[in-house]
Structure 1
Amino acid sequence: MTNTVELLAKDLNGHGGVFCPSAKADMALWNSHPKVYLDVAKSGEAKCPYCGTTFKLAAGEHVGNHH
């Protein structure tokens, strides 16, 4: 089962990414696939190669120091 998780910029770590499995995707961390880093900031979304969950920035969200 694949799903899409919309993220706010504040949900990303300092490098602009997230880890999967993620509690934001309603996943149990103890019995899921190996932990993988996903770079969301690069294109605004990233797909987990293990479970297919897509993590994407919500509309209007921006990453970085834009003034």
Structure 2
Amino acid sequence: MTKQTIELLAKDLNHNGGVYCPNPAADMKLWNSHPKVYLDVARTGEAKCPYCGTVYRLKAGETVGHAH
């Protein structure tokens, strides 16, 4: 499987500051997908999927606001 980096906007993250992989942005097909896994992108600005190696990263200048 090809490892890739997906750049995200803050608005692409869910309310917890993360995304799920496989993700439509990664253009994975049903035949080569893996179990759904949650990746916390907001914590460090990027996260790597343990299954496929895809890295989800916030675009430069994007910030994640935390509402309380």
TM-score (norm 1): 0.91
Aligned Cα root-mean-square deviation (Å): 1.3
Return the offset for 1:64: 1.0
The 2-side partners of 1:24 and 1:12 are apart by 12
**1:22-61 to 2 correspondences below 5 Å:** 22-28=23-29, 30-31=30-31, 32-61=33-62
**Percent of residue pairs bearing the same amino acid type:** 66
The 1-side partners of 2:17 and 2:8 are apart by 11
Cα distance per residue 1:33-63 (max 9 Å; x no partner): 0000000000000000000000000000000
Q: Mark the runs of 5 or more structure 2 residues left unpaired by the alignment.
A: none
The 1-side partners of 2:62 and 2:41 are apart by 12
1:19 aligned partner: 20
Give every structure 1 segment of 4 or more consecutive aligned residues whose post-TM-superposition deviation is greater than 2 Å.
none
**Greater helix fraction, Structure 1 or Structure 2:** 2
Count how many residue pairs are aligned between Structure 1 and Structure 2. 65
